[in-house]
Structure 1
Amino acid sequence: MALPVGAAAPDFALKRKIPEGLEEVRLSAFRGRKVVLLFFPLAFTSVCTEEMCRMTEGLNAYERLDASILAVSVDSPFAQEAWAQREGIRIPLLSDLNKEVARAYDVLLPGLLGIGDVAARAAFVIDRQGKIAYAEVTPNPSVLPQFSAIEEAVRRIG
C-alpha cells in the first residue's frame, strides 16, 4: 500500500543524466513548490512511453500551476536519457537503481514478468510543505494513472 495522503513525503537524492554528466536531484530542493512525483516500471515500454509523453505535453500547464514533475524508475540514468531523447520526453527522469525510493514510498512491485522488482505505476502530488496531497497506485502496470485527478489535486493545493 502506497504512502497515504497527509504523510510526509520521504526525501531522496537520485541521479539524472544531463549533458555534462550526472546531476543529483533532491526532493527537498523543491520545498515551497508543488511536485507531481510519478513512479513508472521501465523505460522503453509502451505504457510508460505513453504516460511520460502525455505528461511532457502537459508540462506547461503544470508549470503555470507552480508544479514540477519528476519521474522515477529503476532504470539506469543512461537508459532513461536514451529513452527520453528517442521519445522527446522533457520531464526529469530519476534513477532509483537500488530501489530505495520505491521502497520508501511503498510502491515496489515484486517480480514483474519474472525479470525483477520495479516501481509500480504510481502518482503522488506533494504540497509546498512536503506532505502528500494525492496518492494513486494503478491496479497493474498496464493502467495509466488518472491524469485529471492528478491535475485537480495540484489545483486544489493553491
Structure 2
Amino acid sequence: MLLDHGSVVVCGALGRQAAPCICGAVSQSSSARDGAVSADVVALYGGVTFWETPNGEPVSMAGVTPQSTGQVRAAPVFTPEHPRGHGYAGAVTAEVSRTAVTAGAAHVVLFTDLANPTSNAFHQRIGYRKVVDFAVRGFGD
C-alpha cells in the first residue's frame, strides 16, 4: 500500500451504487465523453475499486476491464477535484494493477495524459513503461 492512511474497497457488480458521487463525476468527465472505458462498463462485472479515507469516504476509484488474451486495462481512474493531490489515485491505481497481475494478467495497460507529468512519473515508479503515443482526431460531426 502506498499511503499510510485509508484502504482499498473492491466492489462487486453493484460497485457503481457504492459511490455514486465518484461514478457520476466519471461519467461527466471529458475522458468519459471522449470514449474512455466508463464506470458503468467496469461496474457491470465488478471491476471497480475505491480508495477510502479512514472515515469511510470514497475519494478515488479505478476500474479494470475483464482479462482478455492475458491483458487487462486499468480504466477509468478518477478522483473528484476536492480530494486531489493526496495520492489517492496513485494508491488505487497501484492496487488494481497489482491485483490484475496477481490474478494472472500478463499485461496491464494504462492510457495516460501526456500533459500530466505528475501522474506519468508515478506510473513509471510503479512499473508502467511508455510503449506508444496515441492521438485522437475528429473528422466532422
TM-score by length of 1: 0.28
User: Relative contact order, CA 8 A, sep 6+: which one is greater?
Assistant: 1
Higher strand share: 1
TM-score by length of 2: 0.31
